[in-house]
Amino acid sequence: MNWFSGPYLDRALRRDAERLAAAHLDVDALMVPLWHGRSLVRATSPDGERLRAVMPSRAHMQLTGAAAGTPIALGLFHGQACFALELQGETMPDPALFAAGAEFADLRQIAMLLDAGEAGLLAYARAMVHWVRTHRHCGLCGSPTELAPTGHSLRCSNVQCGHEQFPRLDPAIIVLVHDGERALLGRQAAWPPQRYSTIAGFVEPGESLEDAVAREVAEETGIRVTDIEYHSSQPWPFPSSLMLGFTARATTLDIMLDDRELEDAQWFTRADIAAGNPRLPPRQSVAYRLIEHWYDAAAARPLAAEPGAARW
């Protein structure tokens, strides 16, 4: 199962009007605070290698006096109602207001230090806060929008319009292209040296997922592919993508970087990867899972057991 996914939350709360109304009044309901997209966590080990999400109760949040937006209903987490809450203001609130030893952190950097369920909840909260923040006005008439109690609907405040909108995702394909013995990996110019990853790109209107895989690989590397097979998907709320993972076999081998999307792309053998060249994506990414899936299919030992393999 890919990181940020799984049955960590009961989302049925928003379909039960009576329970939802009670949850909005519950002083013990959990709040998932975010400030400028950063999640609130605290260390649970002296070395800081294990983290827990900080989820104050509604009553505790009110005591802090921190300025915040409207709570966004998420669902039931371990049986308790929880809400995403965007903290407002350009100055970071003191994390100690919410819990001793707390800090605001970039979820991309600390996800693997969290419990998988908590990582998924923080990712979900981040995605919902981003959606509400970036859809403050109706796309039809320009009037302010209002968040519905369910948290999954924004309604136009103009009664003559009444347009309703729901959270949207940006579908993106991500693909491990191989020729059997080698994997095709690319890098962007902004990345630190030796960092490579799988080929990825957004799905365009009127395109199937398989069409998007073939087009993106051809545009970015000049390689043609066949045998496109679905592997798995991953929510990626940075800010609002759904990554759809595939594998594909190359039918051509000459790399051509025509569109300048990538600074470099190369073929890497399993021996290259085991030796730490290149540095692979982080383990919480579907990109790593795709590379691992291909590598383990014909390796003497799993990629996770290779001491020389390097990650970002």
The rounded percent of the chain whose pLDDT value lies above 90 is 93
pLDDT number for residue 310: 87
Q: Are 130 and 241 in contact (CB under 8 A)?
A: no
Q: What's the average model confidence in pLDDT over 301-307?
A: 95
Rounded CA separation 215/196 (Å) = 20
Q: What's the average model confidence in pLDDT over 52-59?
A: 97
Rounded CA separation 14/147 (Å) = 13
Question: What residue type is assigned to position 12 of the chain?
Answer: A
Element (H, E) at 73: strand 72-77
CATH of domain 170-305: 3.90.79.10
Strand, helix or coil for residue 88: coil
CATH fold for domain 11-138+145-165: Nucleoside Triphosphate Pyrophosphohydrolase (3.90.79)
Rounded CA separation 311/285 (Å) = 11
pLDDT of residue 48 exceeding 80, the answer is no
**Cα diameter, the chain:** 67
pLDDT of residue 106 exceeding 80, the answer is yes
Rounded CA separation 72/132 (Å) = 9
Half-sphere exposure of 139 (CA within 13 A, CB side): 6
Same fold, 11-138+145-165 and 170-305: yes
In the chain, domain spans = 11-138+145-165, 170-305
What are the tokens at 8?
């960590």
Strand, helix or coil for residue 119: helix
- Going from the C-alpha of 30 to that of each of 39, 55, 97, 169, the distances in angstroms are 14, 6, 15, 25
Strand, helix or coil for residue 4: coil
Rounded CA separation 20/287 (Å) = 37
Q: What's the average model confidence in pLDDT over 286-311?
A: 95
Q: Are 137 and 144 in contact (CB under 8 A)?
A: yes
Q: What's the average model confidence in pLDDT over 81-94?
A: 96
Q: Are 271 and 299 in contact (CB under 8 A)?
A: no
Rounded CA separation 55/213 (Å) = 39
Q: Which of the four pLDDT bands, split at 50, 70 and 90, describes residue 264? A: very high
Q: What is the pTM of this model?
A: 0.92
What are the tokens at 69?
């937006």
For residue 67, give the nearest of 53, 85, 87 by alpha carbon: 87
Residues in the chain, overall count? 312
pLDDT of residue 166 exceeding 80, the answer is yes
Q: Which of the four pLDDT bands, split at 50, 70 and 90, describes residue 47? A: confident
Q: Which of the four pLDDT bands, split at 50, 70 and 90, describes residue 297? A: very high
For 168-177, how does the pLDDT look when each residue is reduced to its tens digit (9 = 90+)?
999 999 999 9
pLDDT number for residue 41: 98
Lowest mean pLDDT among 12-16, 104-108, 117-121: 12-16
